[in-house]
Amino acid sequence: MEGKILTAESAVTETQSNVESDDWNYKSDNVTINIEKVQTGQGEDMVTYFVADVQMSDASSLKSAFAKNIFGRNVVEKTSQIAADNQAIFAVNGDYYGFRSDGVLIRNGVLYRDEPARVGAALFEDGTMQTFAETEVASSSLLASGALHTLSFGPVLIKNSEILEDFEKVSIDSNFGNRSIQGSNPRTGIGLISANHYVFVVVDGRKENYSKGMTLSEFAAVFADLGCTEAYNLDGGGSSTMYFMGRVVNNPLGKQEERSVSDILYIKG
């Protein structure tokens, strides 16, 4: 089993009744989480990724947290530490908002940044997700429509059940700032199957004979095969981390070493 084990004190303390869980599954009255490890190919073509299927009774179980619970540039912590500090059952790295000064940033229903720049994704209180052009949709409109969280990274992978574009032509803006947007790389993404039914996919990469990573086209195809109506690419590369029940599930960069990040998306029971 890959991953780092956190101390018992930092693991989730569960007070609900009717909870069942093991290393890969969790079920309570409010949330069901099933995680699957998938490996394809062999040798230098091997790809290893993790799919978390999350079903919630309502959208209040899906939350976001900042590193050290502080909003700001250059404030970072490991995904596992942010998750443990917020008693998360499950978490993935977010959009690394602190890397840049632009974008529309709504978290837990609060507007923190309003500098439209790219195509973002919004998660709403009715359990749905929609992508939107930040320069065309006002943050006030998003909040009025019940937006709980926005993500400003991209690109959009799937919209209205269709893979959106030729990803080889995606331009690299200042948001990305590194090579991870093109080629085969570690990746993190979020997809919507139906209201309050999400999938989170984390792809390991840059480790020979374990996982080379995925291209954006390959990543989008995974979400399509899972039946997603919407899907959005988050920060990847060394940031790509999946956390579940006190441990890091994946193997970041094949080194079992997490990169510190600005923020996470997480599930509480």
Q: Is the entire prediction scored with pTM above 0.75? A: yes
**165 burial via Cβ count (<10 Å: 0-12, 13-18, 19+):** middle
Question: Mean per-residue pLDDT for 65-76?
Answer: 97
Buried (b) or exposed (e) across 130-164, using 16+ Cβ within 10 A?
Answer: bbbebeebebeebbeeebbbbbbbbbbbbbeeebb
Ranges assigned E (strand) in 1-109: 20-21, 25-27, 31-40, 47-56, 62-66, 77-78, 90-93, 103-107
With beta carbons less than 8 A apart as the criterion, state whether 66 and 76 touch.
no
For 152-166, what is each residue's pLDDT tens digit?
Answer: 999 999 999 999 877
For 38-50, what is each residue's pLDDT tens digit?
Answer: 999 999 999 999 9
Q: In angstroms, rounded to a whole number, what is the distance separating the alpha carbons of residues 253 and 245?
A: 21
Q: How far is CA 248 from the centre of its chain?
A: 14
Question: Mean per-residue pLDDT for 93-119?
Answer: 97
**Which residues share a beta bridge with 115?**
103
For 229-254, what is each residue's pLDDT tens digit?
Answer: 999 999 999 999 999 999 999 999 88
Q: Does residue 95 surpass a pLDDT of 90?
A: yes
**Which residues share a beta bridge with 7?**
none
Q: Which residue has the higher pLDDT, 45 or 173?
A: 45
Q: Would you state the pLDDT for residue 171? A: 60
Q: Would you state the pLDDT for residue 107? A: 99
With beta carbons less than 8 A apart as the criterion, state whether 267 and 61 touch.
yes
H or E segment and range at residue 207: none
Q: Would you state the pLDDT for residue 238? A: 94
Q: Which of 5-9, 22-26, 248-252, 253-257 has the lowest average pLDDT?
A: 5-9
243 closest CA partner among 91, 87, 94 = 91
Q: What are phi and psi of 166, to 5 degrees?
A: -80, 105
